[in-house]
Amino acid sequence: MSAAPSIRLEDLTVGYGDTPVVKDLNIEFPGGKLSMIVGGSGCGKSTVLKHILGLHPAMGGRILMGGHVLSELTDKQAHCMRQRTGVLFQDGALLGSLRLKDNVALPLREHTRLKESEIMRIVQDRLEMVGLGHALDLFPNELSGGMRKRAGLARALVMDPQVLFCDEPTSGLDPVLSAELDQLLLEMMCHFDMTMVVVTHDLASMRGLADFVVILGEHRCLYQGTIEELETTTDPYLRRFLDRKAEERDAPRLTMPPIDPAMMRIDCSEALGAKITIRKDDRCSK
């Protein structure tokens, strides 16, 4: 049985100011499992994550981690909870003025009494784990996007967290790098007893990684459960999402009128010839 904590949302409503983004969430992310929060752009995935991390206060309800109500923690308890939590930010969030080894070492220097030699040993180990053992002395601007993601993961793991949050880990990566990062997250789950919550819109990652899936949309939770149960759904919205189908429209979206050439500041007709803009009357064939 896993010793990693579960995360429970009870009647949780989150948003900004007086505007709720997602309402009345009752979800339990199982301890020791890899859970994914999925949904369309703007549905509140990252907003929920920010509230779990305590970056914003909830508008209603409460969040429990390992049985502790996060809003009721003392300062010391909250500090200790953060020490046991790792975060992989969407863009890596590395400090540009620090070399890679110092970015990864930062939590150890902040929270431990370890000697510098021991810190560097741990840093080397974590960077080797994500395939960046050769890049200790590089600055973030000398790394590719995929390398920055992996470096962010190394830093998130440097304190041996019980809980790891990942915000859009494959965003901006090509299919090969996305698959490599997915494989790396799977290896983390195999080697460490941790609870992992991943925010994503990547259906391939969801199908390949998730033990537990939450789908947000229409300001609420539309689904929570296993991927196997999700694949059998007949809900119209969920089916469109899973099958990557756009909602059918009765009217065309593109209705742009051509710009009158006389309104251009520079007349390009003499340099390039007259610009001929054609708007087709017939709809495009499906």
Of the pLDDT bands very low, low, confident and very high (cuts 50, 70, 90), residue 250 is: low
pLDDT at 7: 95
Residue 46, classed as helix, strand or coil, is: helix
pLDDT at 75: 92
- The rounded distance, in Å, linking the Cα atoms of 126 and 156 is 10
Average of per-residue pLDDT across 27-43: 91
Residue with more model confidence, 114 or 286 = 114
Distances (CA, A) of 240 to 206, 246, 248: 16, 7, 10
Question: 254 pLDDT exceeds 70?
Answer: no
pLDDT at 249: 61
- The rounded distance, in Å, linking the Cα atoms of 42 and 47 is 9
- CB distance 217 to 21 below 8 Å: no
Average pLDDT in the chain: 87
Of the pLDDT bands very low, low, confident and very high (cuts 50, 70, 90), residue 109 is: very high
Extents of the domains making up the chain: 1-84+161-256, 97-159
Of the pLDDT bands very low, low, confident and very high (cuts 50, 70, 90), residue 268 is: confident
pLDDT at 2: 76
Torsion of CA 154, 69, 38, 204, to 10 degrees: 40
Q: Supply angle C-alpha 232, 36, 6, rounded to 5.
A: 115
Distances (CA, A) of 259 to 180, 271, 278: 46, 18, 11
pLDDT in tens, 170-213: 887 788 888 888 888 888 888 888 999 999 888 888 988 899 99
Q: Residue 168 corresponds to which tokens in the numbers above?
A: 């859009």
Distances (CA, A) of 87 to 64, 240, 273: 17, 31, 56
- The rounded distance, in Å, linking the Cα atoms of 127 and 152 is 10
pTM (two decimals): 0.84
- CB distance 132 to 151 below 8 Å: yes
Average of per-residue pLDDT across 89-104: 88
For the domain 1-84+161-256, what is the CATH code?
3.40.50.300
pLDDT in tens, 46-64: 899 999 998 888 999 999 9
pLDDT in tens, 122-151: 999 999 988 889 999 999 999 888 888 889
pLDDT at 37: 94
**Could you identify the residue written with the tokens 């007259």?**
274
